[in-house]
Structure 1
């Protein structure tokens, strides 16, 4: 009896430490990602990129991840030290950030495509490590703690994002600066992002597994795929999530093009827009966490994705950057719900046994949509214009969001 109490007490200490380092890891990851990627499209334009480069910039990472995620996850699962192997992929990704600096020394006419290619290739280690971390979240927290942990990580990561955007906008957003000076400042941020990324990996190594039900075995991929296909709850979620991700990702290049090309946003305006979204997201995570706990993932994900369907349509009403900033209240609120509900739904639908492959299958499907949807949105953009393209994207999101309510009925 005493031994069991001691074991339970020790496990609770581990969970508390995991929560602390899980949140800290999210904060550092957000600083690293924001400094190195969030203004990637604007940096691409400063290098001389065009709308085709923007579409490829959004599509290539998904195409790369399509061929890397499952093999990489199998490699991690077969390793003797899962945490260390995941960390190695994180390290690989962080070193690629430094290559962004090297690109600026290439001939000017090759820089846009070089940046797009390197950015896309960075998703080889990124897709593996980030997907593995999603699965690892199921190993380091008990099911009853997962929603709280994911919500708190997202909440404080959003606060970090707000601070990072404020710093970026102040330093990069001076419209009177020469383009070469702004590019130099981008390079400084790439180096800072690399250094933060190294510290971030250190916090990841502090996480410890607590779920004794997780059995480490060599996965038979063919058998696991067969079981996944036979898992009705998981397959229905996978189809709904893939459909929504396609319509969600279609909007990404369109939003960038609308804000930068149509409304003329510079780095300072992008800072204001992103801070508005981050503020709303920060204060929204508690609401979505409570809603998921009270009404379940299926209900929350339907409400959140319906709201996401409104965003592209509301963007068409924004004829200046002030209105675009105000519109982030809607966008940030429903984005917070969508990101939280999708991950908690994924972990809920994935069995503990071979969870890493179930999460990997989901990541592969969403990467398939990521590799296609930006190119589709570019095709739609070229044929019907930016306003109609945004409306079509909103309609597709609405159709996809209704699949979640159908899933709710089918699972019942």
Structure 2
């Protein structure tokens, strides 16, 4: 349902922008105002949410969250997942800014075309999500993560083959198939690589590191673009993504077969 809602909103946004002149700031101001109001509503509803923990358990949980501990990184399955996930996210997010620049400066895409790129991408995610879940149960998360990450590596080099907007729309459908796989399987593998006890602490550390990556990686992409040009930068991003995908394959074929990797003692204080 979330994918369908995102698809509808994205398509509506593109159609809305197409009604105005490209130089007109008014539609942007309207959408920014709507976004601000919706954000306020989200805050209000989040403030109304209450945890059902007993008082003693709630205090204990608060103390755990306030304590910054590096013990989580000593848990081998989590540490291995973290290395692979960070390597992949750096390579994946390096391309974000470059893709936008390519679509605007090279392909001259309008707001409507941008919405069509997103809609086809999200449609592919909706259609392929069940397939990824089915085959992950059969082959394992890490093997499928290698396939999904390798598929994502094809996106930059395929995109620069043509500036035809219809072609780029079809490429976004292709990319969406692998986006669905990486999103689903990374989350599944995160749950698998963390112990039930103190899982929220592990996930919080993971999200914190991803936030840092989300700030740095796009800047690295722009640096590559300025240094080497569009085609070379896209090729380098593809190579980085493909190299990162082998982290998951290495974990699947080597580390997961060792008894020592399946879990190490973990302190109760985590």
When normalised by structure 2's length, the TM-score is 0.84
Specify the alignment match of 1:17 in structure 2. Answer: none
Q: Is the 8 A contact 1:297 1:344 kept in 2?
A: yes
Q: Is the 8 A contact 1:174 1:268 kept in 2?
A: no
Q: Is the 8 A contact 1:309 1:395 kept in 2?
A: yes
Q: Is the 8 A contact 1:173 1:269 kept in 2?
A: no
Q: Is the 8 A contact 2:20 2:27 kept in 1?
A: no
SS in 1 for 2:30: helix
Q: Is the 8 A contact 1:251 1:393 kept in 2?
A: yes
Count of aligned pairs: 250
Per the TM alignment, residue 317 of structure 1 is displaced from its structure 2 partner at its CA by 1.1
| Structure 1 residues 398 and 208, CA gap change in structure 2 (3 angstroms) | farther
Specify the alignment match of 1:167 in structure 2. Answer: 12
2:219 corresponds to 1:375: yes
**Partners in 1 of 2:146 and 2:165 — Cα distance?**
29
Q: Where in structure 1 do 4 or more consecutive aligned residues deviate above 6 Å?
A: 206-209
2:36 corresponds to 1:182: no
Match of 2:206 among 355, 358, 362: 362
Q: Is the 8 A contact 1:245 1:366 kept in 2?
A: yes
Specify the alignment match of 2:107 in structure 1. Answer: 263
When normalised by structure 1's length, the TM-score is 0.56
Specify the alignment match of 1:65 in structure 2. Answer: none
Q: Is the 8 A contact 1:169 1:267 kept in 2?
A: yes
2:98 corresponds to 1:254: yes
Q: Is the 8 A contact 1:172 1:185 kept in 2?
A: no
Q: Is the 8 A contact 1:251 1:312 kept in 2?
A: yes
**Could you list the per-position Cα deviations for residues 156-194 of structure 1 after superposition, in whole angstroms to 9, with x for gaps in the alignment?**
211111100111011112353651332333334324533
| Structure 1 residues 320 and 396, CA gap change in structure 2 (3 angstroms) | same
C-alpha root-mean-square deviation of aligned residues, in Å?
2.5
Structure 2 unaligned residues grouped into runs of 5+? 54-58, 258-270
**Partners in 1 of 2:41 and 2:169 — Cα distance?**
29
Structure 1 unaligned residues grouped into runs of 5+? 1-155, 210-214
Q: Is the 8 A contact 1:350 1:358 kept in 2?
A: yes
